Amino acid sequence: MQKRKLGKSGLEVSALGLGCMGLSYGYGKAVEKQQAIAVIQSGVDRGVTIFDTAEAYGPFTNEELVGEALAPHREQVVIATKFGFNIDPDGQRRPGLNSRPEHIRQVAGASLKRLKTEVIDLFYQHRVDPDVPIEDVAGAVKDLIQAGKVRHFGLSEAGANTIRRAHAIQPVAAVQSEYSIWTRDPEPEVLPLCEELGIGFVPWSPLGQGFLTGKIDASTKFDSTDFRTFFPRFTEEARNANLALVEVLKQIAQRKNATPAQIALAWLLAQKAWIVPIPGTTKVHRLEENIGSASLELSAEDLDEINTSASKIPIQGERLPESILRMSYR
């Protein structure tokens, strides 16, 4: 697997990471533990070095899974986790966000134990807390870095002004936001700022919650515990309209002897050398398929064709429910 550097932070990782959330949470029932460990360890065996989790995934169960799976490989890998939701130490979720410095310190200590490690490689604020100045958040993480408990600071779904303010207190190694051929929100402001400041960018949901794989259509049924049941972009009507974009990916894929998922990931990798997508999966063969995108070359003509075709397809439905969207790009 090729390596990439997340901006000027010095943090070098595999060109593709593994988003681990879906193994425990979010997309239906949790995967059986040994199968989930096998997927994570298969990633290590195939050269994946960055693994993404969060205290909120479960809560806590995904961090525990990642910690157990990666314990034998700890020196080879980069573990990214997140703080910022209002979750009690016993796992009870409370409304809203909580990035008060004392809470950040508490979360860091608990995450270190669950991840079976002495240091968190990349510690993201999961969502920007409007009640806590970002300077205080960055300062709290800076203290954790100086104490040797965290190596790098990250922000998730943050707006450009917030990123700039945070970076002035503690350099931001990576920004993680949703980004894919059907979700281009970071392009106008966040990506140019990352380039200016030397910050890496980590697209979550680079396969559009699975839609860009071509395995989902208007008739697909989701488990009642699957987030997509409530996502506007996944109503039957929206899926039916948005299949036009998948057809574009399929046409390119057929010509390149690839899959739609590989084209979607290769398109992202071609955008900037400091972009590291973190597709998730619950199956080893899908992991292998995703990794194959890192060696797939898209020509300038291929990229122009994808961009031109995609620009003519209006994506139907917001990417997230309104209550979650309000937390983004603050």
Indicate which residues carry an active-site annotation. 57
For β-strands 78-83 and 50-52, DSSP reports them as: parallel
Answer yes or no: are the C-beta atoms of 293 and 261 closer than 8 Å: yes
First-to-last alpha carbon distance for the chain, in angstroms, is 35
CA distances 76 to 111, 113, 219, 313, Å, are: 19, 19, 42, 42
Q: Which two tokens stand for residue 104?
A: 């950040």
CA distances 41 to 47, 237, 300, Å, are: 10, 38, 35
Contacts of 87 (CB under 8 A, 6+ apart): 55, 56, 59, 93, 94, 98
Answer yes or no: are the C-beta atoms of 10 and 269 closer than 8 Å: no
DSSP result, 201-229: EEEESTTGGGGGGT---TT----TTBGGG
Amino acid at 40: I
Amino acid at 167: H
Contacts of 204 (CB under 8 A, 6+ apart): 19, 52, 156, 176, 177, 178, 179, 278
- Cα distance between residue 59 and residue 23, in whole Å: 13
- Cα distance between residue 53 and residue 79, in whole Å: 8
Q: Look-up: residue for tokens 């439905």?
A: 317
- Cα distance between residue 256 and residue 112, in whole Å: 43
Q: Is residue 304 within a helix (H) or strand (E), and if so which, with residue range?
A: helix 300-311
Closest CA to 101 of 65, 127, 59, 132: 132
Neighbours of 56 (CB within 10 A): 23
